[in-house]
Chain A
Amino acid sequence: MNPIAIFFRGIWDTFRLFKMWLLIFLLIFVLAATVAVPFANVMQNSIGQSLELQKLLPEYDHTVFSDFRNVHGDKLSGILGQLFWMAPLFLLFYVFMSGGIVKAYDQIGQKFSFQEFWGNCTRYFWRFFRLFAWLLLFQGVLAGIVYGVAFFIVLGGSWDNLRTETPIINAAKIVIPIHLILATFLAMVGDYTKVRLVKHGNWLVIEEFFKAEFMCIRYFFRTYFAYLLDIVLLVGIYVLYWFLAGKIGMASTSAILIMLIIQTLTMFFRLGTRLFALGSVNAMYDGIYAKENPASEEEAEEDEATVVAPVALADTDRQEDRVEDEFDEEDQDYNEREHITDWSPYTGDGGKL
């Protein structure tokens, strides 16, 4: 439960799921390529034979690029438009994949199979989609509250009171970090909810969300610190990228090739940080669960397949008559024990959401 150990555990587990990591990365790469390749084709077919093209090699040239855009803007905006609709669709697909991803961490140590992965994606999609909708709503409400409160505090609720930009700049220096902290906390709660949904087989998304939230609040420092380490790592990756990009430039074929490799690695590890976070949330959750439920810890130790998480526990007396996903039987044990934990204010009777 040491957050640093958990952080490394998340990384380690992700490397164990390298195939899954690579799959998601390749998917993103291919989608991005469907933008980049047509862009290159438009450039080739329009200004490929022009001497002006060479001005774009050492650096950006506003005249060359703007003349290109003025004449071939329709094609360019078509390509950008493609990215515009592809991005939200991809987000949906990511939501779809989340079930498979979280389940893979839950089953860490077992052999990863794509068949099982896609099965889990399908199995958890509806719950994860609802969670996504809730998170979207909560993030919107959070932003509305944070900036709305700031608007009232700084400007008394009216733009007419705006005399100088100074209060806005000063407020932004405080409000934006606060928002980012709360938004990442919310995202983290979302990740814990995903883990809970998978481990407990519950259909009640909002119930699991609040359970996850109370857990995150109770164990705030270790959960948030471990999560933050992944964000720091992400920032570090970009700092390194900008440093290397500044050093290497892109003014020759070899430099372009080197930058392509660096950019690809940057993107691969950026995705990695997202997965590391899910991995560490999974590991942290298991740790907390084991602490809260000493009985399960013993069982966990008996279970060779998992290090911490007791995944494949026997199906014990099933009391709830709620309709469960047929695949969720194995998780019932987790679900039952949950109800006795002292940090949960809920006992599972919430309405299905």
Chain B
Amino acid sequence: MKHLITCILLLLTSLAVYAQTPAWATNLSPRIANYDISVKLDTAKKTLTCKERLNWRNDSPDVITELQFHLYLNAFKNTKSTFLRSGARFGRLPDDELGWGWVDVTKIIDENGNDLTENIKFIHPDDDNEDDQTVISVTLEEPIRPGASANFDIDFISKLPRIIARTGFAGDDYYFVVQWFPKIGVYEEAGERYATEGQWNCHQFHASTEFFADFGVYNVDLTVPEGFVVGASGVLKDEKSNGDGTKTVTYRAEDVIDFAWTASPDFTVIEDKWNRVDIKLMIQPEHEHNADKYLGSVKNSMEYLAKHVGDYPYKTLTIVDPPLYGIGSSGMEYPTLITGVPGFTIHEGIRQIETVTVHEFVHQYFMQLVATNEQEEAWLDEGFTTYYENAIMDHYYGEKTSTTDVGGYHTGDKEDSRLRYTGMKNPSVAPCATPGWEFKFGGYGDIAYGKTGAWLEMLKRMVGTTTMDNIMKTYFERWKFRHPCGQDFIDVVNEVVLREHGDKFGDDMNWFFDQVLYGTEVCDYKLASISNRVAGEPVGIFDKEGEKEWAAPEDEKETEEENAEDEIYKSRVVVQRLGEMMMPVDILVHFDNGDEVLEKWDGKSRNFELRYERPDKVTWAHVDPEQKIYMDLNFNNNSITKEPDDTPIKKWATKVLFWAQNVLQSMFFFF
């Protein structure tokens, strides 16, 4: 019987899954933008001479008469680009012609032979910078009908810059080639994400924003010098020598949103495996001692995310360890290819390589598989990635030791991320939901990464780990290989929380997102005071049998006095809300007989008091004792104890005394 029920349940489940499976079920993704590109690298001129065949499908109900493309490399053509105008510094500007980068589309022809080259014009959808050349519009001679596909042959030359914003060359022979080809924008039909009508989503390249693209298949032939070791997104299909000192390697990447590659004669390749994923570590020989840090942390990430979010569906993962002189390409994520940080390990307890590797791998889920718009909603990729980076680092390397653990000084990744936000000079500088290029007064990283990480952790602590896992699994399964927006995530949260907690948090969680995502309020709850007084008899003049009778006051005793056996205490605990953010909080009150009472407060009023009349005094009280409200700017003011123990102060003052003497004595070491 039990088996029968199980079988029926399984059948129903698979039917349900089948019913939800999208039309492109045979492939992993909708495969809208597909590229076949052949590339010839000229190592002297630092150019890529390329032929691209783009196959694009109109997945909308609209007739398409114009295409839009990103020409990212033009951000590095001159200082008039929107990218370089922003003043964001990615190292110094090149002092030679070779250092600048650009991309020229020399020819574009549609499948019917119409030459569209003359129809190319630069546009600037985000600002009025006429000189920005990072987006082009190409008017079509023959419109593309809904559901139809079209092919375009595009000839282009990409001049690589000396590495800036991760892309380019360094030294003579290190190439990290990303954002390098004319990449079609995303056409959003009305109702998709925030589109109210059909529109191209093709933003200019800004210094503080990343990318947004449709899924597709890439077949790329890379012709490079024979001695170069090549790594790229996807799977290596072929490698053949051309007999002229060059070789051509062919990669195929399926169901991805971008294609990145690297080449250098210096890489050492170390191969590893996790389940069915082939992991390829391309490491500099001088960093080989870091191999275990890279491979260990990436396998930890794969294990954790498979358990808490979903499966990594690709067959390969390439980790690139850049050389020191190519450090500008470090710490970045591309489909099935990530970069770490170059570094000599000074101490095993400094886990920068692990932290960066974990972070970049998590991006395979949040922005690569769940392909959110990194430009408009950086929090959806950087914030989610921070949240899982924190969880993975703390899980595998210790909650208080995951990022640094050196000689008694230790920090955890999650607390580091929270402090990135709580330590801001102005944590209200902009809401999380601000588009990347509109953080004009700073705070992009601290808000998109730190604040989002903190409120996702807060959400988890409020709804519980199981519910949070279910939220993330549902969000991932529903939106992988698609383009969700923030509201889509909120919808999933509302759905799962309502299903698992009923109306415990209200009809929905919008009140939460209004504050943490769209608002700039900060959160700070404070345990303001505790007082205990002996409850005396009433005093004053009382009417008694027609007479006025005076009840004399006893000495009202302060709590600090001896605890008389039969005394009753009037105790008062006051909690205050210092910030504008309102979150439901618990207050734990501890009495001197060991009793503890957990009180609930909706956290809305400015002040909140708890009163007790009992034979025990309140010894301490703690608002939010489990630190669920992880965005609270100051946990130290969340509690007060009437029996403080200053031993820790003695300890740290002693340490400071020692340090200060050391500083003073160091002054005359050489004199």
Residues of A within 8 A of B (CB): 28-29, 31-33, 35-37, 39-40, 43-44, 46-57, 59-64, 66-68, 70-71, 83, 86-88, 90-91, 94-95, 132, 135-136, 139, 162-166, 169, 183-184, 186-187, 190, 250-253, 256, 259-260, 263, 266-267, 270-271, 274
Contacts and interface: CB of A to CB of B under 8 A. Distances in A.
Given A31-B660, A39-B656, A63-B635, A51 B622 contact: yes
A252 B653 contact: no
18 contacts: A36-B656, A40-B649, A49-B640, A50-B640, A51-B639, A54-B648, A57-B647, A62-B410, A62-B419, A70-B419, A87-B664, A135-B671, A136-B671, A162-B325, A164-B286, A164-B324, A250-B654, A271-B665
B637 interface: yes
Residue in A56, A95, A165 with the greatest tally of chain B CB atoms within 10 Å? A165
Interface string B517-542: 00000000000000000000000000
B459 to A, nearest CB: 19
Contacts of B651: 56-57, 250-251, 256
A61 B400 contact: yes
Interface in B320-337: 323-325
Given A66-B423, A163-B325, A40 B652 contact: yes
Contacts of B648: 53-57
Contact of A162 (B286, B324, B646): B324
A28 B665 contact: yes
Contacts of A166: 286, 344
B17 interface: no
B479 to A, nearest CB: 33
A271 B650 CA distance: 24
B388 to A, nearest CB: 20
Top 6 A-B pairs, shortest CB-CB distance: A32-B660, A40-B653, A36-B657, A51-B639, A91-B667, A56-B648
Nearest to A68: B636
B661 A32 contact: yes
Interface residues of B, number: 58
Contacts of A186: 670
Given A67-B633, A70-B423, A165-B286, 4 more contacts: A29-B661, A51-B622, A61-B400, A87-B667
A267 B415 contact: no
B415 A62 contact: yes
Contacts of B325: 162-164
Nearest to B403: A62
B657 A67 contact: no
B671 A67 contact: no
A228 B635 CA distance: 50
B171 interface: yes
B665 A267 contact: yes
Residue in A56, A63, A83 with the greatest tally of chain B CB atoms within 10 Å? A63
Contacts of B663: 83, 87
A98 to B, nearest CB: 8
Given A53-B649, A71-B636, A35 B671 contact: no
B662 A267 contact: yes
Nearest to B343: A165
Nearest to B416: A62
Contacts of A40: 649-650, 652-653, 656
A39 B640 CA distance: 20
Interface string B629-647: 0000111111111001111
Given A32-B661, A36-B657, A183 B670 contact: yes
B660 A36 contact: yes
Given A35-B656, A250-B651, A94 B636 contact: no
A46 B640 CA distance: 11
Contacts of A263: 654, 657-658, 661
A56 B652 contact: yes
Nearest to A191: B671
A40 to B, nearest CB: 4
Contact of A32 (B416, B635, B657, B669): B657
Contact of A165 (B344, B622, B664): B344
B416 to A, nearest CB: 8
A125 to B, nearest CB: 14
B411 interface: yes
A90 to B, nearest CB: 5
A288 to B, nearest CB: 23
A193 B670 CA distance: 13
Contacts of A183: 670
B171 A63 contact: no
A56 B651 CA distance: 9
A325 to B, nearest CB: 22
A142 B653 CA distance: 38
Contacts of B662: 267, 270
Contacts of A163: 171, 323-325
A165 B656 contact: no
Interface in B358-401: 400
A61 B652 CA distance: 12
Interface in B395-428: 400, 408-412, 415-416, 418-419, 422-423
Residue in B652, B658, B660, B667 with the greatest tally of chain A CB atoms within 10 Å? B660
A81 to B, nearest CB: 13
B342 interface: yes
A204 B325 CA distance: 50
Contacts of B665: 28, 267, 270-271, 274
A59 B633 CA distance: 22
A70 B660 contact: no
A63 B664 contact: no
A83 B660 contact: yes
A111 B367 CA distance: 80
B284 interface: yes
A37 B654 CA distance: 9
A165 B322 CA distance: 12
A67 B636 contact: yes
Residue in B419, B634, B637, B668 with the greatest tally of chain A CB atoms within 10 Å? B668
Given A35-B656, A50-B640, A62-B415, A88 B667 contact: yes
B664 A67 contact: no
B620 interface: yes
A58 to B, nearest CB: 9
B664 A31 contact: yes
Residue in A49, A68, A83 with the greatest tally of chain B CB atoms within 10 Å? A49
